[in-house]
């Protein structure tokens, strides 16, 4: 086959996969209302994808906040604007790093776990077994995990932002270590961060990222070839595709939300 | 191939079934009847499509052509809701057991009851204990699948398969990898459950002795076709060389020992010259 033919076939294959994932998403969304009758399934999954991701998010938030304060302080000190450190850290974290870094961590921790779990359930006939018991695996397995990701991501992002800006991260390095005035640090944050623009940004972006990551993860797991290699590839694909899709979505959302 | 069973008594009817996965042809026009109240065995070598047949009968996969009817309903034409309704009348024992690994033995058996009925938990408990008692594992209700042996896992899966009192149970290689005691237990359970509960059973297996020992009717499949069918005695005395090789486990015969390839000498000499 010629190179042009190969490119055509590959593009066609990608489009087909995209269409299949869109149909899959529609089936998941259609199954969501039935979760009202089984709230326990959702709560279990929020624990699994949310609470169990908490540690990595908290630790990452602290480190990111510290690094931002350190590097920001050096740059601001050159202009005698150390007191703007709070503003600098808060805007970078709230507008960009919070949702993006949390999303990347979530894709690595929860997304890969979701894909592996569903892929292994398929490989061990658990999904087929459910179908044979007249139980739709999309309703019983996929939908609760998808909604849990959608709910957990904004909460995790909020926690990440608090840890990065607050006492453990940026505040500790800026105020306690580098000697920036504490009230100037907080006042800077208070005067620069707007609720309807910046705080809403956290929830909108992280909600979209949560949907993208869990969509990719459950799709990859559900359609993974039922072999150890297939599950392994699904897990890798989840992290790679979800991370890239998240970065692309971030560009689009930032362009829309912060354009004049 | 003309079938000799009474068609009015058939729960499942397969006609002119064609099925292929990619370029690999699995079935090229088979006819199979599953009679009510009997144990019908589907036998054949590994990779011949026995499990595929169960998936086609249960509507998990759809044939390219031909028909599969369950109690007069054409499986391929049913909506998902109607298909799920029909599956409540079927049970399936997977080769792996397919138990939900995050649930205990008790919860696995209770799973279909909780999903499909609004029975109070007390009643569900009684039913689960009765089903587990039937397979001899009432005492193991608190264990998780990872704590079960292969034979125990299949018995739990069997208890789950009969939880909704189905009309038909499909067994996918129930004896594979079982020790003699577990095998004996499973053989007895399959026969007893079929007779006591008035079930219809399909047993897919390549374990000749065990399967011929409990089956009422046997289909032998190979290369996408039904090679022979009849009672276990008919199969034992089959005139087909292929069936004789299969049931006597002969290493050579119509099924050659060597996979098709170029001549041995040509291969060796070719490698030397290369």
DSSP string for chain B: ----S-GGGEEEEEEEEEEEETTEEEEEEEEEEEETTSEEEEE--TTSSHHHHHHHHTTSS--SEEEEEETTEEGGG--HHHHHHHHTTEEEE-TT----TTS-HHHHHHHHHHHH----HHHHHHHHHHHHHHTT-GGGTT--GGGS-HHHHHHHHHHHHTTT--SEEEEESTTTT--HHHHHHHHHHHHHHHHHTT-EEEEEE--HHHHHHH-SEEEEEETTEEEEEE-HHHHHT---HHHHHHHTT-SSSSS-SSPS-S-HHHHHHHHHH-
Number of domains in chain B: 1
Q: Kindly give the parts of chain B with pLDDT less than 70.
A: 1-8, 256, 271-274
Q: How many CB pairs under 8 A join A and B?
A: 53
Measured between beta carbons, the chain A residues lying within 8 angstroms of B21 are none
**Are A126 and B60 an interchain contact pair (Cβ–Cβ within 8 Å)?**
no
Measured between beta carbons, the chain B residues lying within 8 angstroms of A136 are 80, 84
Whether chain A has a CB inside 8 Å of the CB on B61: the answer is no
A241-257 pLDDT, tens digit each: 999 999 999 999 988 88
Number of domains in chain A: 1
Measured between beta carbons, the chain A residues lying within 8 angstroms of B131 are none
Place of tokens 């998403």: A25
Q: How confident is the model at residue A227 (pLDDT cuts 50, 70, 90)?
A: very high
A120-176 pLDDT, tens digit each: 999 999 999 999 999 999 999 999 999 999 999 999 999 999 999 987 889 999 999
Residue B72 lies in a domain: no
How many Cβ atoms sit within 10 Å of the Cβ of residue A237? 18
**Are B101 and A135 an interchain contact pair (Cβ–Cβ within 8 Å)?**
no
* 3-state secondary structure at position A42: helix
Q: Give the nearest chain B residue to A136 (CA atoms).
A: B84
Q: Give the nearest chain B residue to A134 (CA atoms).
A: B84
Whether chain A has a CB inside 8 Å of the CB on B79: the answer is no
CATH classification of the domain holding B139: 3.40.50.300
Measured between beta carbons, the chain A residues lying within 8 angstroms of B117 are none
The minimal CB distance from A128 to the residues B94, B99, B112 is found for B94
Write out the residue range of the structural domain in which residue B85 sits. Answer: 38-59+78-251
Whether chain B has a CB inside 8 Å of the CB on A23: the answer is no
Integer-rounded Cα radius of gyration of chain B: 21
The minimal CB distance from B111 to the residues A124, A131, A133 is found for A133
**Are B100 and A129 an interchain contact pair (Cβ–Cβ within 8 Å)?**
yes
- Which pLDDT belongs to residue B2? 41
The minimal CB distance from A129 to the residues B85, B90, B94 is found for B94
Q: Rounded to an integer, what distance in angstroms lies between the CA atom of residue B85 and that of residue A244?
A: 42
- Which pLDDT belongs to residue B7? 62
Surface of A (177-196) touching B: CB under 8 A: none
Place of tokens 């009968």: B57
Question: Contact B97/B156 with Cβ under 8 angstroms?
Answer: yes
- Find the angle CA(B188)-CA(B108)-CA(A235) to the nearest 5 degrees: 115
How many Cβ atoms sit within 10 Å of the Cβ of residue A67? 16
The minimal CB distance from B98 to the residues A124, A136, A140 is found for A124
Q: Rounded to an integer, what distance in angstroms lies between the CA atom of residue B184 and that of residue B150?
A: 14
**Are B87 and A136 an interchain contact pair (Cβ–Cβ within 8 Å)?**
no
Our CA-based measurement puts residue B162 at a distance from the nearest CA of chain A, in whole angstroms, of 10
A25-68 pLDDT, tens digit each: 999 999 999 888 889 999 999 999 999 999 999 999 999 999 99
Question: Contact A113/A152 with Cβ under 8 angstroms?
Answer: no
Residue B176 lies in a domain: yes
Residue A110's nearest CA partner among A81, A164, A170, A150 is A150
Residue A53's nearest CA partner among A231, A206, A216 is A206
H or E element: which one contains A156? helix A143-165
Q: Rounded to an integer, what distance in angstroms lies between the CA atom of residue A212 and that of residue B146?
A: 33
Whether chain A has a CB inside 8 Å of the CB on B115: the answer is yes
- Which pLDDT belongs to residue A11? 82
The minimal CB distance from A128 to the residues B60, B85, B91 is found for B60
- The two structure tokens encoding residue A258: 């912060």
Query: Predicted ipTM?
Result: 0.80
Q: How confident is the model at residue A78 (pLDDT cuts 50, 70, 90)?
A: confident
* 3-state secondary structure at position A38: coil
Question: Contact B226/B219 with Cβ under 8 angstroms?
Answer: yes
**Are B91 and A125 an interchain contact pair (Cβ–Cβ within 8 Å)?**
no
Residue B195 lies in a domain: yes
Our CA-based measurement puts residue A54 at a distance from the nearest CA of chain B, in whole angstroms, of 22
A194-211 pLDDT, tens digit each: 888 888 888 999 999 999
Residue B73 lies in a domain: no
Instruction: Note the pTM of the prediction, 2 decimals.
Output: 0.84
Measured between beta carbons, the chain A residues lying within 8 angstroms of B156 are none
Whether chain B has a CB inside 8 Å of the CB on A124: the answer is yes
Write out the residue range of the structural domain in which residue A146 sits. Answer: 3-257
- Which pLDDT belongs to residue B197? 87
DSSP string for A104-131: HHHIIIIIHHHHHHHHHHHHTTHHHHHH
Our CA-based measurement puts residue B173 at a distance from the nearest CA of chain A, in whole angstroms, of 14
Q: Say which residues have a Cβ less than 8 Å from residue B33's Cβ, sequence separation at least 6.
A: B3, B5, B7, B10, B12, B13, B14
Q: Rounded to an integer, what distance in angstroms lies between the CA atom of residue B248 and that of residue B236?
A: 9
* 3-state secondary structure at position A259: coil
- The two structure tokens encoding residue A104: 């990347």
Q: How confident is the model at residue A1 (pLDDT cuts 50, 70, 90)?
A: low
- Which pLDDT belongs to residue A164? 93
With the CA atoms of B59, B61, B66 and B68 taken in that order, what torsion angle do they form, in degrees rounded to the nearest 10? -20
Burial B239-270 (b: 16+ CB within 10 A, else e): eeebbbbbbeeeeeeeeeeeeeeeeeeeeeee
pLDDT, mean of residues A73-89: 88
């Amino acid at each position: 086959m010629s190179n042009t033919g190969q490119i055509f076939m590959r593009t066609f294959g990608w489009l087909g996969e995209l269409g299949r994932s869109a149909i899959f998403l529609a089936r998941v969304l259609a199954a969501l209302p039935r979760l009202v009758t089984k709230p326990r399934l959702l709560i279990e999954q929020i624990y699994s994808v949310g609470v169990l991701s908490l540690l990595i998010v908290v630790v990452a938030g602290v480190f990111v906040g510290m690094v931002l304060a350190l590097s920001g302080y050096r740059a601001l000190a050159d202009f005698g604007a150390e007191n703007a450190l709070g503003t600098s850290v808060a805007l970078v974290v709230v507008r960009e790093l919070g949702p993006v870094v949390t999303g990347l961590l979530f894709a690595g921790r929860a997304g890969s776990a979701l894909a592996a779990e569903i892929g292994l359930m398929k490989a061990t006939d658990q999904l087929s077994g459910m179908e044979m018991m007249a139980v739709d695996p999309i309703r019983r397995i996929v939908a609760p995990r998808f909604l849990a990701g959608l709910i957990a991501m904004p909460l995790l992002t909020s926690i990440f932002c608090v840890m990065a800006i607050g006492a453990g991260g940026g505040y500790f390095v800026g105020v306690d270590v580098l000697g920036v005035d504490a009230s100037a640090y907080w006042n800077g944050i208070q005067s620069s961060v707007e609720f309807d623009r910046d705080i809403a940004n956290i929830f909108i972006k992280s909600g979209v990222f949560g949907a993208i990551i869990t969509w990719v993860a459950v799709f990859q797991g559900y359609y993974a070839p039922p072999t150890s290699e297939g599950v392994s590839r699904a897990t890798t694909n989840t992290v790679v595709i979800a991370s890239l899709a998240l970065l692309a979505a971030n560009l689009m959302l930032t362009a829309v939300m912060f354009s004049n | 191939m003309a079938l000799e069973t009474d068609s009015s008594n058939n729960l499942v009817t397969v006609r002119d079934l064609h099925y292929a996965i990619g370029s690999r042809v699995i079935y090229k026009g088979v006819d199979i009847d599953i009679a009510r109240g009997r144990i019908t065995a589907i036998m054949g070598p590994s990779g011949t499509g026995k499990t595929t047949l169960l998936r086609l009968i249960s509507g998990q996969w759809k044939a390219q052509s031909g028909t599969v009817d369950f109690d007069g309903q054409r499986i391929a034409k049913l909506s998902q809701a109607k298909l799920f309704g029909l599956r409540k009348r079927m049970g399936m024992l997977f080769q792996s057991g397919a138990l939900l690994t995050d649930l205990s033995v008790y919860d696995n058996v209770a799973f279909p009851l909780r999903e499909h009925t609004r029975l109070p938990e007390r009643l569900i408990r009684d039913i689960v204990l009765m089903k587990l008692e039937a397979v001899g594992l009432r005492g193991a209700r608190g264990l998780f699948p990872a704590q079960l042996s292969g034979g125990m896992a299949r018995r739990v899966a069997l208890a789950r398969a009969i939880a909704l009192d189905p009309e038909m149970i499909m067994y996918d290689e129930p004896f594979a990898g079982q020790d003699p005691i577990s095998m004996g237990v499973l053989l007895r359970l399959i026969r007893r459950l079929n007779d006591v509960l008035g079930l219809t059973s399909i047993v897919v297996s390549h374990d000749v002795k065990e399967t011929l020992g409990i089956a009422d009717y046997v289909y032998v499949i190979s290369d996408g076709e039904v090679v022979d069918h009849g009672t276990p005695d008919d199969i034992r005395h089959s005139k087909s060389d292929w069936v004789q090789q299969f049931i006597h486990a002969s290493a050579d015969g119509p099924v050659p020992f060597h996979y098709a390839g170029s001549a041995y000498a040509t291969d060796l000499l070719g490698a030397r010259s290369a």
